[in-house]
């Protein structure tokens, strides 16, 4: 039915060790690692801790800022990207999530050239270490500070143009649901996906993302999963819930309810 995973940003207040312990208690078998949490350890200790837990690592979040929008130079961002690729390899992560960086005053074409230049330098190392780079399109209203790729159709065209098994898409239902042509685009995008992230919301996106429990919002997440599954996607599904509505809930209940909802939806999708 697809591997259910939880990205650590979902349990923002918990440290890595508690994430591992509580996810296991909730019956979750896979985890999306957030670099900010693993940075509390030296890299070798963090890798060993996660390996000892025997969780499948579905993603590492994230590398990016190649347009200079993160306060680093283009070359500094590439250096950080290489470090993230090596960490993803050590974790045996299913993919490393990539954000292009904001336009940061550049024209769209120049921002795109900056990202392609970075990709040309990062992809050979990713291929050498068998690490999939997963580009994540984000809707403009809440993702403009992270990426200039707000159109999933443009991101898909980029992936198809590069045409490498190590460069794929990360599909986030929270962002994809905002696209007017999502139902036409989704089957083609699913064939190029390295990861599907799960997010629902009770209202349209704003500059501060405010997601909610799966099934409690207005987004057609269930229907999107049906299309993705029927298009042949058999990879991981990673819960990514952030915002005030999530922070007000009990994390343990969030994990249990989200996992149960996902399983019910996937049974329907497989029927």
Please state, in angstroms and rounded to a whole number, the distance separating the CA atoms of residues 253 and 262: 14
Between 74-91 and 43-53, two packed helices, what is the crossing angle to 10 degrees? 40
One digit per residue, pLDDT tens: the chain, 271 residues? 789 999 999 999 999 999 999 999 999 999 999 999 999 898 899 999 999 999 999 999 999 999 887 788 999 999 999 999 999 999 999 999 999 988 777 888 899 999 999 999 999 999 999 999 999 999 887 787 889 898 999 999 999 999 999 999 999 999 999 888 999 999 999 999 999 999 999 988 777 889 999 999 999 999 999 999 999 999 999 999 999 889 889 999 999 999 999 999 999 999 8
Cβ atoms within 10 Å, residue 165? 9
Tokens of 132: 């999939």
CB 156 within 8 A of CB 168: no
Tell me what pLDDT residue 124 has: 98
Tell me what pLDDT residue 131 has: 98
- Omega before residue 62 within 30° of 0, cis: yes
Tell me what pLDDT residue 204 has: 81
CB 12 within 8 A of CB 19: no
Between 16-25 and 251-270, two packed helices, what is the crossing angle to 10 degrees? 50
Tell me what pLDDT residue 224 has: 97
Q: For the chain, state the CA radius of gyration.
A: 17
Domains with residue ranges and CATH for the chain: 3-270 (3.20.20.150)
CA dihedral 70, 72, 73, 77 (to 10 degrees): -80
Please state, in angstroms and rounded to a whole number, the distance separating the CA atoms of residues 233 and 210: 27
- The region, left, alpha or beta by phi > 0 then psi within -120 to 50, assigned to residue 250 is beta
Between 221-230 and 182-190, two packed helices, what is the crossing angle to 10 degrees? 40
Residue 39 backbone dihedrals phi, psi, to 5 degrees: -70, -10
């Amino acid at each position: 039915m697809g591997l259910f995973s939880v990205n650590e940003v979902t349990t923002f207040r918990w440290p890595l060790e508690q994430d591992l312990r509580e996810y296991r208690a909730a019956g979750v078998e896979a985890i999306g690692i957030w670099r900010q949490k693993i940075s509390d350890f030296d890299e070798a200790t963090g890798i060993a801790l996660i390996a000892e837990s025997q969780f499948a690592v579905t993603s590492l979040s994230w590398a990016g800022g190649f347009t200079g929008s993160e306060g680093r130079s283009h070359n500094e961002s590439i250096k950080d990207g290489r470090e993230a690729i090596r960490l993803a390899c050590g974790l045996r992560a299913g993919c490393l999530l990539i954000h292009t960086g904001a336009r940061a005053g550049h024209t769209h074409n120049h921002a795109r050239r900056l990202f392609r230049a970075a990709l040309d330098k990062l992809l050979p190392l990713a291929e050498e270490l068998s690490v999939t780079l997963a580009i994540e399109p984000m809707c403009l209203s809440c993702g403009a500070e992270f990426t200039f790729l707000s159109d999933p159709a443009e991101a898909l065209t980029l992936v198809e143009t590069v045409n490498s098994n190590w460069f794929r898409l990360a599909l986030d239902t929270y962002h994809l649901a905002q696209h007017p042509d999502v139902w036409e685009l989704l089957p083609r995008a699913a064939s190029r996906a390295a990861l599907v992230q799960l997010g629902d919301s009770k209202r349209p996106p704003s500059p501060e993302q405010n997601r909610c429990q799966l099934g409690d919002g207005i987004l057609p997440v269930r229907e999107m999963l049906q299309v993705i599954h029927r298009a042949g996607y058999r990879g991981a599904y990673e819960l990514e819930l952030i915002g005030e509505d999530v922070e007000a809930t009990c994390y343990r209940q969030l994990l249990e309810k989200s996992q149960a909802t996902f399983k019910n939806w996937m049974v329907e999708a497989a029927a």
